[in-house]
A = this chain, B = another copy of it.
């Protein structure tokens, strides 16, 4: 696609890990990369300047949420998402497939549990808004249209994300539907891009649950669509970590080499390392930002809770040697005080730290891949980190 270019820089000898650069109309992203999540056109608690200061080169937003409020046509009218939220680097929008099946399924607006709130048809999906219960219909075509209105650099195909526990029969039918929808997405996408000035890169989404044969089937199918990237969906949705790593192992040698591979919704430090080892280039996850708002933060020694009394009198920073804004300016004791007092600055400072931690981890991962020391780095990091990560 015009405006996009993918260049592999270095391949690890011992694993599927690699470093690369994905060029987009709003700038280059260095892979493997972690992308902070800004669901509703804001990375919760942070300003665009702060996001940049964490080192982030690309953020996510969500088509499902933005369609419901303020509306994707509205965002187009405001000049597109980049301008509206004042973020001039790359943006990726998720299609909303996952949200339609998770959020819209929550039975907030009816007590009649026999009533299906999400109706899957061949043409698309009828669902009720999780905000006000209003009815909407998403199709592969209109989801392409909406994401064009938002104007992100990378957009996602509309898929059916089956429950983690789906049996082979259901997982297969959901996968087949996702394949048919992917083809319709591509058709609509090609039509739309012809008339766009700023081009977008469409990524299809591999499904297939935790069934090896389906995942291989889906990987081959999506690879053949020959789009600028490829994504793996339906993981980190309830299966065990072991199952997730297994699926990644099963498909890793079937993934196309010539485009970025994006593992959706995955983002704990250990998952990032395991993903990179299996050839993943892009990650996103709300964990960094959501955990922060609950007082949880990462260091090289694992996960910690800021409200823990151990931090009460701590004049040290959250993590020794950390270069994030929060650690450069405040002690753990002060940040703990902000949390105890429910002061918003506390949520901001911990969010900044967690996002910076993941972005810095990815930087170290890239450096170690290029030095040929990735496996050693991974082992050393996890040995220390996993001691306190349960």
Interface residue ranges, A against B (CB under 8 Å): 40-42, 44-48, 69-70, 74, 77-79, 84-86, 312-313, 315, 329-331, 333-334, 337-338, 340-341, 343-345, 347-349
Contact = CB atoms under 8 A, between A and B. Distances in A.
Contacts of A45: 344-345
Contacts of A338: 42
A257 to B, nearest CB: 39
Contacts of A340: 69-70
B40 A329 contact: no
A207 B69 CA distance: 52
A343 B84 contact: no
Tell me which of A46, A333, A337 has the highest count of chain B C-beta atoms within 10 A of its own C-beta: A337
Given A84-B331, A329-B48, A70 B344 contact: no
A345 B313 contact: no
Q: Please give me the 5 A-B residue pairs with the lowest Cβ-Cβ distance, nearest first.
A: A45-B344, A40-B341, A42-B343, A86-B329, A42-B345
A293 to B, nearest CB: 9
B47 A333 contact: no
Given A44-B344, A48-B329, A343-B42, A77 B313 contact: yes
B345 A347 contact: no
A307 to B, nearest CB: 13
A340 B44 CA distance: 14
A313 B343 contact: no
Given A77-B313, A337-B70, A40 B343 contact: yes
Contacts of A48: 329
